[in-house]
Structure 1
Amino acid sequence: MATSKPKTKSAKVIALLVRGNGSSINEIGKATNWKPHSIRAFLTGLRKRSYLVVREQHRDDETVYRIAEQSEARAS
């Protein structure tokens, strides 16, 4: 069964964020052609819609965002 690509930019961003390693602002910008301030505003909107958006700092000083499951938040 073939999987279809996300049809909207919002769906693209959510697909990037649910990957195990998440996505950086730069990756999201390349996928959507959005500017960083628009990406951060979208992430805020996801939080308001009850998504658990986690921000992580990686060794190379890159900030990565991902959507975590509620059980991850309780374990932290």
Structure 2
Amino acid sequence: MTTSSQTKPRETKIATVQRLLGRKSGADIGALQKATGWQAHSVRAALSGLRKAGCQIEKHPSPKEGGPPVYRLVRDTAQA
């Protein structure tokens, strides 16, 4: 007797980080912490790891006065 489950594989936390960084609005450290359940230093380490893996991540000032910086993945227009 074989049972087949049709559940989707769960998204990894690093994939969640990449998805949030890929949004037009990007994401700040707090949003990444909330999405992954990680502490701030772990989120920063993940950003560093993504950079080492070849992802280009830009840091932008907050759209809100005095808010945290926002991080975004750089889109390579040559490959698009």
TM value normalised by structure 1 = 0.80
Q: State the percentage of identical aligned residues.
A: 37
Q: Structure 2 regions of 5+ residues with no counterpart?
A: 1-7
Per-residue Cα deviation, 1:31-57 (whole angstroms, up to 9, x for no partner): 000000000010000100110000011
Q: Structure 1 regions of 5+ residues with no counterpart?
A: 72-76
**Given the alignment of the two structures, is residue 10 of structure 1 paired with residue 14 of structure 2, yes or no?**
yes
Name which one, 1 or 2, has greater alpha-carbon Rg: 2
CA contact (8 A) 1:52 1:70 kept: no
Q: CA RMSD in A?
A: 1.7
- Over 6 Å off, 4+ runs: none
Structure with greater helix share of residues: 1
- Partner secondary structure for residue 29 of structure 1: helix
Structure with greater strand share of residues: 1
CA contact (8 A) 2:28 2:69 kept: yes
